[in-house]
């Protein structure tokens, strides 16, 4: 029915970023709660990574917000193609993304090694020139990641830890994983 379609549309607007189609902050918070509960039950590690694009402001300033929006959509597509089906990628706004890796080893060293592999894959995948509207754009990511094991932290604390790690990368010129 028309009412049901309208309801589904409102649900989509409430939970997904209009530009990239990725989950937004609201849906990310919900998925984090579920993933943290599941990780605690199963004794798995959960990885939360905060990702920010180096030099994105320059793209917006020099080429306009349309170019910036196209660039963000292209980055989102690249990120989606890099991650596994069950992992979550969300856009918090601006050029900030959060990646959550589910179903990771119970062993923290194995989980850290997996995180490094995925982080390096994301760095390679995003560190490419993008051709948009006849122009070439380039930006690199700064990625900060944190592991949740044991389930003592809140989702806000996990995000904060990943954010702090990301800022350490930014402070050292970006294009790296911390």
* DSSP H stretches of helix in the chain: 2-15, 25-42, 56-63, 65-82, 108-126, 155-171
Rounded Cα gap, residues 73 and 80, in angstroms: 11
H/E segment holding residue 172: none
Phi, psi values for residue 89, rounded to 5°:
-125, 130
Is 66 annotated in the active site? no
Point out the catalytic residue in the list 52, 54, 87, 95.
Answer: 95
Structure tokens at 49: 């990574």
- Listed residue (113, 108, 96) closest to 49, CA to CA: 96
Q: Are 38 and 88 in contact (CB under 8 A)?
A: no
How many Å separate Cα 103 from the centre of its chain?
A: 17
Residue 34 CB: number of other CB atoms within 10 A?
11
Rounded Cα gap, residues 120 and 172, in angstroms: 17
Token pair 């902050």 in the structure block, residue: 25
Give catalytic residues, as residue numbers.
95
């Amino acid at each position: 029915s028309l009412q049901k379609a309208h309801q589904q549309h409102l649900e989509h607007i409430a939970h997904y970023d209009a530009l990239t189609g990725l989950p937004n902050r609201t849906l990310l918070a919900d998925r984090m709660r579920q993933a943290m509960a599941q990780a605690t039950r199963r004794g798995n590690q959960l990885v939360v990574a905060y990702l920010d694009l180096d030099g994105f402001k320059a793209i917006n300033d020099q080429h306009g917000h349309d170019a910036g929006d196209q660039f963000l959509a292209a980055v989102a597509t690249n990120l989606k193609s890099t991650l596994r089906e069950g992992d979550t990628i969300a856009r918090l706004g601006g050029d900030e993304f959060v990646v959550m890796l589910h179903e990771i080893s119970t062993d923290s060293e194995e989980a850290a090694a997996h995180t490094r592999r995925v982080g390096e894959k994301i760095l390679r995948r995003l560190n490419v020139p993008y051709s948009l509207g006849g122009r070439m754009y380039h930006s690199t990511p700064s990625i900060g990641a944190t592991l949740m094991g044991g389930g003592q932290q809140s989702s806000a604390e996990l995000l904060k830890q990943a954010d702090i790690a990301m800022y350490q990368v930014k402070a050292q010129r970006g294009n790296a994983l911390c």
